[in-house]
Structure formats: structure tokens, C-alpha cells
Structure 1
Amino acid sequence: MDVVSNLAFLLVLLAVGFAARHVGLLNDARSDRLTQFAFYVALPALVFTSTASKSLAAVLEPRLVLGFWFVLLSAAAVGWVVHRRESTPSVRSVAVVQSYHCNLGFLGLPIVAATFGGVVTAKASLLLGIGALTQVPLTIAVLVFVNNADANVRAELGNLFANPVLVALSIGLLSSALGLSVPGLVWSGLETLAEFALPIALLVVGASLSLDDTSVDFSTVGSVVALKMLVMPAIALVTFSLLSADVSTTRAGVLMLAMPTAVSTFIYATELGGDANLASANVFATTVASVGTILAVLQFVA
């Protein structure tokens, strides 16, 4: 599919997921099953097939990782400065977190795979793993620190190492390094499962979007959207340009960092003292805005 077709596909499936949830077709139980299938089956299959089939030297690009870390921390710093005077800690923490925390798994990697494929997808898979080990601890730390939340941080961070995406990434990179081959029938099955990653992820994200509560400060929502969907991708474009990164690295890095804020930030906010209503509104607003901003970003990297 070309860029416009991909984005139209994205918008349609988000809308289908949103509508299906609000007419009762995607209730909590069905949404949970789809989420589990995407998280435990389709995404790991996509991560493994994209990395195991590429040479390790082509995937492990230092500028990709360094650029990702620099952009993530820069966006977090900008978010902190912009939102430091928000009225309450619960609002401040959510606004900061959602100004940098990207939906790398359920939107980023599947969209990269559908748009570019090949080594770009392998590099995006690496960023998905690096992101899980970087932005999740950072988000937990911000929420706990700002809200003075009572949380078992060690247990929260310990859950990372049971992440099936990280397991699939490790196995994929090891297979690449050792030159291991997968039987053709198994490989075909994994590729088929990987193809479900994007449509199922989009349905799940669409079903998670909510406009039920209007008691949030829309100026705060607007500033989060501006930082996450405009400022952060701009920092990414400049960073990878200054690093003289190759085309595949720039495509993977910029597109992954241009994703809307992750649905998981709503869960973290709810558990760690953040403003859940604001978190929900920000997820909705950045996801809807991403349809246009991703198209703009692709004009620079495609």
C-alpha cells in the first residue's frame, strides 16, 4: 500500500474499533482477547520475523539508539518545562508523560512494517525493545515522583522482563547472529500471524478511545498534542539529520517517535495517581491528530 492508502486504512480501522466499542460489539472481554492476541502473538511474530531475517550488522545501528534516547529525553525535558506550572500534581505528571511516551507497539511497529517493511521494520523492532526498557521506567518514575505515589516500583519494572516483545526481539537477534534457520512452514505461519498485527492493533486502539468525559482542561490537551505530535517529530527529524543517519535509520527512528501517546499511559496514570480523565483525553486527541501528522512526517522520510 502507498502512504495515503496506509493512512486511510489506519483511520478506517480506528473508526471501526471506536464504533464497535460504542455499539457493544467490542465489549471489555472481546477487547481484552484482541489485545492479548496482538500483544502475545501478532506483535512478537512481527518482531521475530523482521529481525531474524536481517543481518545483525544492518539492525544494530548505534545512531538509531542514540538518536532515539536523545529525542525521548529532549521531549520529556520540554514537556517538564511547559507543564511544570500545571494546577495539580496529577495533571502535571500526566501532561509531562504524555508529551513524550510513544505508542511504539500497537501503532508504531505495525505502521512502519506496512509502510516500509524490510530493514526499516527490523530497526523499528529494535526501537520497540529499547523503548520498552527506556520510556516505561521513565514514565513510572515521573508519575511516582510527581504524585508521591505509593507503588512497588521494583515489581512494575520487573514486569518488563516478561514482555513477550522483548523475548521475541532477543530470540530474533540471537537467530540472526547465529545464522539459525526456521523451517519454512513455521516461518510462513509466523509471517501470517505478523500480518494481523496492524489491523488488530488498530481495532484495539480505536476501541480504547473515549470521549465520555469533558471535564478536562482543553488547553492542557492542546499543549500535549502540540508537543507530542509536532515538537517531538521535529526534534527527531533534526536529530537524525545531524547524526547523518542513513535512510532506513531515519525512517525507523522518526516514524516511531512520531507516534501518538500510548494507551498504556492511561493505565499507568490510573495506577500511580495521575489524572485519568486527562490521560484518556490525551490518548484520544493525539491518536486522532496522528492521522494528519504521520502523513506530514512521511513526506520528509519517504
Structure 2
Amino acid sequence: MLLITIWPLFALICLGHVLARTGFPDPGFWPAAERINYFILFPALLVSSLVDAPIGDPQILRLGAAALTTIFLAALGMAVARRVFPTPAARFGPALQGVVRFNTYLGLAVTASLAGAEGMERAAVYLAVCVPVVNVLSIIALSEREVLRRPGAVLRTMLRNPLILACLVGIALALLGFGLPGGMGTFLELLARGSLPLGLLCVGAALQPSALRQDVGPVAGNVALRLLAMPLLAALIGFAYGLDGAEALVLVVFSAIPTAPTAYVLTRQLNGDGTFMAGLVTAQTMAAVVTIPLVLLVLGLG
């Protein structure tokens, strides 16, 4: 049953890859589709999911705390490993992003398939807490001392991120408690319906199998850390925080999904090893077809 639920999501990714490689509908379509999803459709999904979320629920607060604990422990482990095996920022940045970042489209799609509207609310809270944190960690890992000299630039970058802004708006509306007036809720829900399928198609279009020919050992190790070690760590931390139900599912799912394709863009912008990052994104996405159902079954969350 779990495999039947999840395989259509990966079928969309594969379809996106095939369409992009055959040049359909046009090479310029995919960057434009990614932009409209990133700036309009996906923020609409986040706001509409957060507006009715029970922000004050103790389980929600524990989910946020468990999510941050998982990410910070993973980042700390990577930092310790770097002290043992010195690595330049251009390589360490992609490696860290490969472990702590997550593909939001796939995470929400899996959560929606397994836990419905309740899962989407919890997932939106997870994103509101974790998206700013993983972005800051990624920038620090790639630019190191430079970012410490210009903290204001990092803050401005965060405040221009449409996902972070959407999370802030959604949380504010949830705290105010009066919802979205005048049909705005329906409008945002209509926009949101296109976000996940379009996002998964774009994920497939961005895959670069040619990047797998290099760094086979480091890529394989990073895949194991992200897709196997991270969900196990998340499950242990979730148990320690007393999470169950939809909250436990969200915490594990977002720790078991592959890293974000946008990590490649950030890596290129900050002069990191783009080929290494592309290999991580591609390898993790391909391996996740097997590891996500396996991890959820083993942990009893499927």
C-alpha cells in the first residue's frame, strides 16, 4: 500500500526528466515554471496550509523543537567530521546541504498522500521553522568568514525568500485566528493545487545524471547519511520529544527525503562545487525511490 501511495510522486519526477531531455514543451519552459512555482504557487500552498494550523498545540511546538534539534545535531556532526577530514568550503557546503536540506515539493507530496490535510498543516509548520535555519546554515557553510562579516546581507536574503515570507504570513494569520476573508482562501487553494505536481516535474527536469560520474564515493556516503541516518536520527529525537501520529510522520518524512534541487543554484551562486552538488541532488532523488518506502516501513510509519 505504501509503495502504491508513493510511486506516482516519483513517476512525476521521471516524467519531468523525460520531458526536459526531449525538449518538450520548450527548454525555456522549465526555468519559467520553477520561478512561477517558487514565487507564486508554492507560497500560496504554504499560506493556505498554515492559516488553520493549531500553532498553539503543544504537539506542534514539540515538532518544531524536534525538527531544529535534528537539523542542528546533523550540522554539528558534519562540522566535527570536517575537523577530522579538512574540507574546503566549496566542497563542505554541498556536503552539508546534502545532509540538512530537503526537497519541499516531495516532502509535502509524500505527507499529503499519507496524512492528508492534518499532515499538510504540520508539514507547513515544519517548513516555517526549518526553511530559514537550513538556508542560513547552507550560506554559512559555503561562504564561511565572509558571511560573518556581513550578517545584514544574510538577513536581507532571508527576508526576500518567498517561502520564508509565506510562512511568516501564514503563521501571523493563524495566530490572529480570523482566517482568509472574502474568498481569499479559495483563491489560494486553487493556486496551491498546481504547486506540487508542477514542482515534482521541475525536480525531474533539473536532474543531471552525468554528474554521477564523479565523486562516486563521497556521493554514496552523503546519500547514506541523508536518506538512512537522518530519518533514524529524526525518529529517535521524535521519540525523545514524545511525538506520535502526524507530527512523528512529518519529522521523519522531511528527514528521509532527498536534498533540495535549489541547493545547486545556491552552490553555484556562492562559488561552491556545482558538479558535486548536482551529483548529490541526482543520486539522492534516484535512491529515494527505494529508501523512503523502506524507512517508513521499518519505522512503522507507512
Is TM (by shorter chain) over 0.5? yes
Contact 1:149/1:272 (CA < 8 Å) preserved in 2? no
Contact 2:46/2:124 (CA < 8 Å) preserved in 1? yes
Change (3 A) 1:122 1:23: same
1:37 and 2:36 matched: yes
Cα deviations across residues 77-97 of structure 1 (Å, max 9, x unaligned)? 333344552665533332233
Residue equivalent to 2:292: 294
Contact 1:59/1:126 (CA < 8 Å) preserved in 2? no
Contact 2:30/2:205 (CA < 8 Å) preserved in 1? yes
Cα deviations across residues 158-185 of structure 1 (Å, max 9, x unaligned)? 1221222233323322323323143574
Contact 1:132/1:160 (CA < 8 Å) preserved in 2? no
Contact 1:58/1:119 (CA < 8 Å) preserved in 2? no
Separation in 2 of the partners of 1:171 and 1:24? 37
Separation in 2 of the partners of 1:174 and 1:157? 20
Residue equivalent to 1:258: 256
Change (3 A) 1:272 1:170: closer
Change (3 A) 1:54 1:92: closer
Separation in 1 of the partners of 2:207 and 2:77? 26
Which one-letter code corresponds to 1:56 in the other structure? I
Contact 2:89/2:141 (CA < 8 Å) preserved in 1? no
Change (3 A) 1:92 1:159: closer
Residue equivalent to 2:121: 122
TM-score (norm 2): 0.88
Separation in 1 of the partners of 2:25 and 2:133? 32
Aligned residues: 299
Separation in 2 of the partners of 1:128 and 1:144? 24
Aligned partner of residue 54 in structure 1, secondary structure: coil
Cα deviations across residues 96-116 of structure 1 (Å, max 9, x unaligned)? 33122222x232223322331
Which one-letter code corresponds to 1:170 in the other structure? L
Residue equivalent to 2:94: 94
1:58 Cα deviation after fit: 3.4
Separation in 1 of the partners of 2:294 and 2:184? 38
1:178 to 172, 176, 179: 176
Separation in 2 of the partners of 1:53 and 1:100? 28
1:28 Cα deviation after fit: 4.5
Residue equivalent to 1:12: 11
1:254 Cα deviation after fit: 1.4
Which one-letter code corresponds to 2:186 in the other structure? S
Separation in 2 of the partners of 1:9 and 1:111? 10
Which one-letter code corresponds to 1:102 in the other structure? F
Change (3 A) 1:58 1:43: farther
1:144 Cα deviation after fit: 1.1
Separation in 2 of the partners of 1:301 and 1:214? 31
Cα deviations across residues 167-225 of structure 1 (Å, max 9, x unaligned)? 33233223233231435744333222222222111001100000234552100000010
Separation in 2 of the partners of 1:121 and 1:261? 19
Separation in 1 of the partners of 2:85 and 2:47? 43
Which one-letter code corresponds to 2:232 in the other structure? A
Contact 1:59/1:122 (CA < 8 Å) preserved in 2? no
Change (3 A) 1:263 1:86: farther
1:271 Cα deviation after fit: 2.1
1:233 and 2:218 matched: no
Separation in 1 of the partners of 2:169 and 2:93? 35
Change (3 A) 1:216 1:153: farther
Residue equivalent to 2:107: 108
1:126 Cα deviation after fit: 1.5
Which one-letter code corresponds to 1:133 in the other structure? P
1:38 Cα deviation after fit: 1.5
Which one-letter code corresponds to 1:21 in the other structure? A
Overall identity of the aligned pairs, in %: 25
Show structure 2 runs of 5+ residues with no match: none
Residue equivalent to 1:136: 135
Residue equivalent to 1:50: 49
Which one-letter code corresponds to 1:239 in the other structure? I
Show structure 1 runs of 5+ residues with no match: none
Contact 2:74/2:99 (CA < 8 Å) preserved in 1? yes
Residue equivalent to 1:204: 202
Separation in 1 of the partners of 2:89 and 2:175? 46
Contact 1:102/1:259 (CA < 8 Å) preserved in 2? yes
| Aligned Cα root-mean-square deviation (Å) | 2.5
Which one-letter code corresponds to 1:51 in the other structure? L
Change (3 A) 1:260 1:179: same
